[in-house]
Every structure is written in structure tokens, then in C-alpha cells.
Chain A
Amino acid sequence: MRAFLERLLRLDRRWIFLFVLLSVAIPIVIPLGLPVTTTESTRKAFEFIEAMKPGDTVLISFDYGPSSAPENDPMAEAVMRQCAIRKLRFIVIALYPLGGLNLASNAVAKVVAEYPDLKYGVDYVNLGYKDGASAVMRRMGDDIAGAFPTDEAGTPLAQIPMMKGIASLRQVQLVFTVATGIIGEWWITQVHPQVGTPIIIGPTAVSAPKYYAFLNSGQLEGMLGGMKGAAEYEKLMRAAHPEMERFYGSTRDFTATKGMDGQTVMHTVVLLFILLGNLAFFLTQKRAVR
């Protein structure tokens, strides 16, 4: 027993890496379908969008890059699908320099392919990327065309039917920022107090804890925290809109719900290693003292 415990303490950490790798990979190949429970912050976000009137405008800001795409992509896609179902118009922008625009364009192309009735310039528009997020938000509060004179393809905003009547963020009913880093926070601390537009955030798990303070103070209408928040949103979408099953019931495509299987198994493995490591440490130390 003692030899086993000492061997455990000397275990090459690469074995732990291998276990972690397997614990994440196996649920991708064999989905476990573990249950996902919803939290209040995600429910509030979902219900806010569900309560919006057809024709209302949602600004979806891609404030993240490929480094956090597995967490943020499912959130952005879920909200865009909800906009399509609820007949809400959506404006897509990207304020994150490294890949935000590509992710925005890819997500728009994916969702538009799923809903062929959506018309560019009428139901949705992609304004592209703009550098200097904070200054861009400031300008959009007064004049969207001042910050984005053209859409991503170079068409002046005045020639886009959907943008008629939307001069500033004051004519936008919701900003949904899918964010990594500080840009998401600026929507809450800068745009919300100055313009008053309601904000919902979909941050990475790393950033999520700090946004609970904004949620509690009423500065946020809701939050989808990391992959867990995205999985909760997918569950709410499936419950409210049975046709969503074609996206979220698939075992072939990546969804946040599927990703949570890997999260659960991996966390269990890590907890077991922590328990075993501590047990081995304290037992061998005790014997050494004796």
C-alpha cells in the first residue's frame, strides 16, 4: 500500500494529461446526454428576448476571438436562431480585433443558411469590424453610421433598408455582447448608463464571476456564463421551440450541451486525482512522522 501511495506521489504528470484527454474525448465520441440544470441568470436572458416584439432590433456584438470560440460560438448562434424564430431584426458587429469579424461572418452564414427566409438588409445586417471598441461604443450611442459608415461589404448604411430609423443605439432594443476580456464590460459600464440600452452578456467562464455584480445591481438583463450558460440556453431553446431539436438534438454536430458531458467527466477525473493525491500525501507523511 505504502509503495503504491509513494508511486502515486511520483506519478509523471503526463499520465494526468492523458486521463484528462480521454475524459474529454470519450464523451465526444459517445455522448452521455448528462442533464443540464438552468440558472436564473440564463433564464432571465432567455425570457427577455422571448418577450421582445417582432420587428425589434437586437445588436449582437462579437467581442471574442477563436481562442474562446467553443464557449462563445454556441451562445451567438443560439441568440441569432432565437431572433430568426421570434422575427427580431439583428445587427452584427465585431469589436474584437483577432478574428471577431471572421467568427461573426461565419456564424451569420451558418444561421442564415438554416433560415433561408432571412433577407440581408431587411432582417439582419453585418456591419463588420471596427478598431477602438470603447470609442466605437461612444460614437454608436449618438450615431451608428459615424462609427460604421458602411456595412462589411462596403454598402453605405443609408442604402440598407433595415438601418432606416436606426440612427443610434437608442433605437436598438437590446445589445447582446458575446465577449471575452474587457470589451463586454464596456457595454455595461459605458453604453448602459449613457444610452440606457438593455444589455445581455455571454462571457467566457473565466470572466463570468465579475459579471454577477452587474447582474445583481440591475445593470444586466441576463447572462450566459461560459459553456455551461450556453448549454443552459440550448436547453431553454429546445423546451420553448421544439423545432430546435434539429440543431441541439444532433449527436454529430458540436453543441454546448454535448461539451458539458466532457466538462462533467473531466471535472470528476480531476477531483479524483486531487482526492487521491491528498490522501497519498497525508498518509505517507503520517507514516514518515511515526
Chain B
Amino acid sequence: MSHLPPIGVWIAAFLTLSALSFLYKDNPFFRFAESLFAGVSLGYYVGITLDQTLVPNLIEPMQQDFGKHWDLLVPGLLGVLLYMRYFPRIGWVSRYALAIYVTYYIGLDFTRRLHGEAMPQIARVIVALPGPNPLAFVFVVGVLSVLVYFFFSMEQGPVTRRISRLGIWFLMISFGAAFGFTVMGRVALLIGRLNFLILDWIYPILGI
């Protein structure tokens, strides 16, 4: 005897098939699924930000002990100021909040890029040649030739042109590897949906 899957699985199966139906041709079922997905995603985002960020980090602390957490008014106010852009007469006020927000992230990202990315990666290229890793030489040549390819401040001569051509080869090989991984990633999504359709929807209907 088959055990029919719950209603949520039927809805998910219908929406999955509606989304996949675009592969045959554009149709109202696909458009419905697309619009529903966009709407639900936005609603979910708003809801979870309110429930998991604003309430526990801003509203509840101030409700519980305003004297201790009064300083939370500052970020709260900055958040409210962002929405002033919807009122044309005082829209300029939102720029202050945006400026603080952008400055904060520039400060954060500057350290991150320099200290967490540029420095360790450069340190990795500076290796003793010949070193214990025979691929280190290829690695160094790859980095330098790609950098030459992206150096646009002066016209390339016969030597730099050859080096930058080598850089293009390194780039193409890395793009090829990235594309291979991308195909694998996209197929994984298809596998996920078909697993759901077969294991969670069709098998229970058939009683398997």
C-alpha cells in the first residue's frame, strides 16, 4: 500500500516541475513559480532579519535595560535614516547613514584584502628555487606572466608580449578548471531536485 506524501511535498514537486518546464518552453506555470519564489524569498529575508537580528540585538536589549543599552539607539537611528530616501524633501539625511555604513565596510575590507589575501598570497610566491615542490617554479612563472598580461600602463614590447601570451595560457587553463567545476555544481543542483522528485515524491506514491 502506498503512503501518500504530505501536502508540502506535492506543492514542492509541482513547483519543481513548473520551474523545469521552462526547458521545454516558456509557460504560465514557470512564470508563476518564478514570481512566487522571488516573493517568498524577499518575505523570508525580511522576516528572518526582524526575528533574528533586530529583535534580539536591538529591541529586546533596550526593552530589558534601557540604561545599559541606550547606545543601541545610534545604530537603530542610522538604520531608520537609510529609509529617509523615500521622502524626497529630507532624502539627503540618508546619505549620512550610508556614508558611515560604507566607511565601516571599507575599513573592514581593506584589512581583509591586505592582511588576509594579498600578503599571504605574495608570501607564498616568494619561494626558494629550486625548492622541495617541483611545481613551485610553474607557480611563480604563472603568477608573473599573468601579472604582465594585466599590466596596461605601458605598451608591450616583443618580450613582454610573449610573456603576456604565456599568461593568457595560464588564465585559460584556470578558466577551464573553473568551468569544469561550474558544470559539476549546476549538475549537482539538478541531482538534488531529481532526488527530491524520485525519493521523496514518486517513491512514497508507489509505496517504495
Considering the complex, which residues of chain B in the window 147-183 have a beta carbon less than 8 Å from any beta carbon of chain A? Answer: 174, 177-178, 181-183
**A70 near B53 (CB under 8 angstroms)?**
no
Contact B195 A28 (CB under 8 A): yes
CA distance A193 to B23 in the complex (A): 45
Q: How far is the CB of B66 from chain A (nearest CB, A)?
A: 16
Residues 185-206 of B at the A interface (beta carbon under 8 Å): 185-195, 198-199, 203
Q: A97-B45, A263-B184 are in contact. Are A28 and B194 (CB under 8 A)?
A: yes
Give Cα A218 to B156, complex, Å: 35
Closest to B49 in A: A131
**B36-65 contacts to A (CB < 8 Å):** 41, 44-45, 48-49, 52-53, 56-57, 60-61
Contact between B195 and A226, CB atoms less than 8 A apart: no
Residues of chain A within 8 A (CB-CB) of B190 are 20-21, 24, 266
* Nearest Cβ on chain A to B204's Cβ, whole angstroms: 11
Give the interface size class of chain B. Answer: 35 or more
From the candidates B115, B174, B181, name the one contacting A225 in the complex (CB within 8 A).
B181
- Which of A28, A189, A226 sits near B116, CB closer than 8 Å? A189
**When the two chains form the complex, which single residue of A25, A130, A226 contacts B185, counting CB atoms closer than 8 Å?**
A226
A99 contacts B181, CB within 8 Å? no
Interface contact B194-A24, CB-CB below 8 Å? yes
Q: How far is the CB of B139 from chain A (nearest CB, A)?
A: 8
- When the two chains form their complex, are residues A206 and B181 in contact, meaning their CB atoms are under 8 A apart? yes
Quote the shortest CB–CB distance from B69 to chain A (angstroms): 10
Cα distance A206–B44 in the bound complex, in angstroms: 25
Q: Which of the segments B2-10, B81-89, B92-100, B105-113 contacts the partner chain?
A: B105-113
| Chain B, range 2-34, C-beta contacts under 8 Å to A | 23-24
A90 is an interface residue with CB less than 8 A from chain B: no
Question: Quick one: which of B105, B121, B184, B192 contacts A134, CB cutoff 8 A?
Answer: B105
CA distance A101 to B198 in the complex (A): 26
Residues from chain A with Cβ under 8 Å of B48 in the complex:
97, 101, 129
Q: Which residues from A are CB-within-8-Å of B187? A: 24, 262-263, 266-267
Contact with B along A256-286 (1 / 0, CB 8 A): 0001001100110010000000000000000
Contact A217 B53 (CB under 8 A): no
A to B CB contacts below 8 Å, 24 in the list: A28-B194, A28-B199, A29-B198, A68-B188, A70-B188, A97-B48, A129-B53, A132-B53, A135-B104, A149-B57, A149-B61, A186-B112, A194-B116, A206-B181, A208-B181, A213-B121, A216-B139, A218-B124, A219-B120, A226-B188, A227-B184, A254-B199, A262-B191, A267-B187
Residues of A within 8 A of B (CB): 14, 17, 20-21, 24-25, 28-29, 67-71, 97-99, 101, 128-132, 134-135, 138, 149-150, 152, 154, 186, 188-190, 192-194, 204-206, 208-209, 213-214, 216-219, 225-228, 252-254, 259, 262-263, 266-267, 270
